[in-house]
Amino acid sequence: MAERNTHDPKEMTRRRFVASMAATGCVAATSSGVLLADGRFVIPNSEGFLVVDTKKCQGCGSCMMACSLAHSGSASYSESRIQIMQDSFGDWPNDLFIAQCRQCQNAPCVGVCPTGANHVDEANGNVRRVDPELCIGCRMCIQACPFTPARLQWDRDRRKSQKCDLCVDTPFLDEKGGPDGIQACVRVCPVKAIAFTREMPSQTLTDSSYQVNLRDWVWKRLGMTAE
């Protein structure tokens, strides 16, 4: 049974709305969570997370290509759910940054969604994901993401938000995706700088807990530090 999380209802618009119902004595259940009688909104923890080693990444962008190809069948950096940013003139390790969705425990992007498009998919390991049929393109989820850069993307052509679903909905992948399957970015990365874990990283407002050391004796043998 996945753990559940509670958080301050004042943070999010949709939750405030539901909380106002609770104030009248109601206890509400939504597709994304449960509102307790004390006003706290509870969503189940994701059963999977992506962690990365920014010191190991070779900056080839293969993960970004694989992501957009697996989800939409076309190649696009802007629509990749994982973003690799690099400065050719920067010095290691600050020359490159990987921004992946954290599948947050409190998931502000889920809570703020006014239509329930951004939801917890309990049938697929509680992954936080956007249902494009319900998304109205208000971009509130993008604004609610507390991280820089925001871990949700704006699909310019379809006028909708999108986010990492750990490859639950990947019509162009001929393998099962999601927490119980594969993730395209993990599968394609030539140096294994991205990993999937079921253990939830510490929930802080920095990326440090999602940045891990994936370098080993092979990396050292190839001439690069494993520390």
Partner 1 sequence: MTLYGYAGKILRLDLSAQRAIEIDTADYRSWGGGHGLGSALFWDFCKDKTITDGTDPANVIVVTSSPLNGTLAPSAGRCEVVGVGLNTHPVHWYTRSNIGGRFGTMIRHAGYDAIVIEGKAPNPVWVDIRNRKVVFHDASDLWGTDSRTAQETIWRRMGVPRDVKTGWWNLNETAEEALDPATDQGRTTQRPAIMTIGPAGENRTCGGCLVHDAGNVAAVAGFGGVWGSKNLKAISVIGTGEIPVADATSLLRARSIIKEKYTSDIEQPDFEAWSKIGKQPKLMAMVSPPTDEYRPQACQGCVSGCRARYSVGYGHETKCQVTSWYFAPSRRVARSAKELVEINLRAADAAQRYGLNTYFALTGLHWLEHLVEEGVLGPGKAIHSDLPWEKYGTLEFAEQLVHALSCREDIGADLANGWVQAAYKWGREDDLRTGHMAFSYWGQPEHGYDPRAEVEWGYGSILGDRDICEHCFNIIFTNITASFAFAKPMRIGAEELVSIISEKLSPYAKNRPESLDYSDENMYSEDVAQLVRWHRHYTRFYKESALYCDLRWPDFYNTNTPDRRGATASEDAGEHVFWNAVTGDELSFEDGIELGRRIWNLDNAIWTMQGRHRDMVKFAPFIYETKYEKGELFPFFMWPCRDENGKWVYRDVMGRTMDRQKFEEFKSTFYRLEGWDVDSGWPTRTTLEGLDLAEVAATLDAAGRLGKESAS
Q: What is the distance, to the nearest Å, from the Cα of residue 172 to the centroid of all Cα atoms in its chain?
A: 20
- Answer for which of 13, 31, 78, 204 binds partner 1 (CB under 8 A) is 78
Residues in the interface with partner 1 (CB under 8 A) total 60
The token pair at 177 is 């995706």
Q: How far is the CB of 143 from partner 1 (least distance, A)?
A: 12
Q: How far apart are the first and last CA of the chain?
A: 36
Question: In the complex with partner 1, which residue's Cβ is closer, 79 or 121?
Answer: 79
The token pair at 162 is 């999108």
| Buried b / exposed e along 102-140 (16+ C-beta atoms within 10 A) | bbbbbbbbbbbbeeebbbbbeebbbbbbbbeeebeeeeb
Binding mask 136-175 for partner 1 (x = CB under 8 A): ------------xxx---x-xx-x------------xxx-
| Amino acid (1-letter code) at residue 60 | C
Decide if residue 206 touches partner 1 (CB under 8 A): no
Piece of 7-15, 20-28, 38-46, 64-72 that binds partner 1 (CB under 8 A): 64-72
Helix (H) / strand (E) element for 218: namely helix 217-221
Rounded-to-integer distance, Cα 108 and Cα 7, Å: 10
- Answer for which of 14, 55, 102, 119 binds partner 1 (CB under 8 A) is 55
Question: In the complex with partner 1, which residue's Cβ is closer, 33 or 108?
Answer: 108
- Answer for which of 105, 113, 187, 201 binds partner 1 (CB under 8 A) is 187
DSSP letter at 45?
Answer: P
Decide if residue 192 touches partner 1 (CB under 8 A): yes
Find tokens 């190649």 and name the residue: 75
Piece of 26-34, 43-51, 67-75, 100-108 that binds partner 1 (CB under 8 A): 67-75
Decide if residue 85 touches partner 1 (CB under 8 A): yes
Decide if residue 208 touches partner 1 (CB under 8 A): no
Q: How far is the CB of 161 from partner 1 (least distance, A)?
A: 12
The token pair at 144 is 């609610």
Rounded-to-integer distance, Cα 207 and Cα 209, Å: 6
Helix (H) / strand (E) element for 22: namely helix 13-22
Decide if residue 73 touches partner 1 (CB under 8 A): yes
> Can you give the binding site for partner 1, defined by CB under 8 A?
55-62, 65-66, 68-70, 72-79, 83, 85-97, 99, 148-150, 154, 156-157, 159, 172-174, 184, 187-188, 190-192, 216, 218, 220-225
